[in-house]
């Protein structure tokens, strides 16, 4: 009986057990990359209520709106090249939140935080 307990204890403590658990339960959340895009007007004031569309290979992956600080947060899978993502930022509320702005398209880069300035129409 003691022999069986020692055998299973060695199995659990050897690291084999943790490898099996990782294989069964998938990849940890740290395999994602978080990005923050902050959008400003020409006077360097944050713009609230802008629509952001994130596309990968032409297909929409994510849509969101900027908050009162002009921030939009994205979580990207680390297995995709960051430069493969296209971003469209557009003003959808007209004159509200600081006026009308010209939409902007851009590619993501390796920076964790990205600041974008939109020009007025």
| Domain locations in the chain as residue ranges | 30-117
Please give the model's pTM, rounded to 2 decimal places: 0.69
Indicate the burial class of 70 (C-beta count within 10 angstroms; 0-12, 13-18, 19 or more).
buried
Name 22's bridge partners. none
Which CATH number is 30-117 given?
2.60.40.10
pLDDT per residue as tens digits for the range 36-84: 999 999 999 999 999 999 998 888 988 999 999 999 998 877 666 777 7
């Amino acid at each position: 009986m003691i022999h069986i307990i020692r055998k299973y204890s060695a199995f659990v403590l050897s690291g084999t057990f943790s490898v099996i658990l990782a294989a069964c339960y998938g990849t940890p959340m740290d395999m994602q990359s978080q990005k923050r895009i902050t959008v400003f007007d020409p006077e360097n004031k944050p713009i609230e209520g802008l629509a952001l569309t994130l596309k990968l290979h032409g297909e929409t992956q994510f849509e969101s709106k900027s908050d009162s600080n002009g921030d939009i947060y994205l979580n990207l899978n680390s297995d995709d090249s960051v430069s493969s993502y296209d971003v469209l930022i557009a003003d959808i509320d007209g004159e509200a939140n600081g006026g009308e702005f010209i939409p902007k398209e851009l590619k993501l880069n390796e920076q964790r935080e990205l600041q974008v300035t939109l020009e007025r129409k």
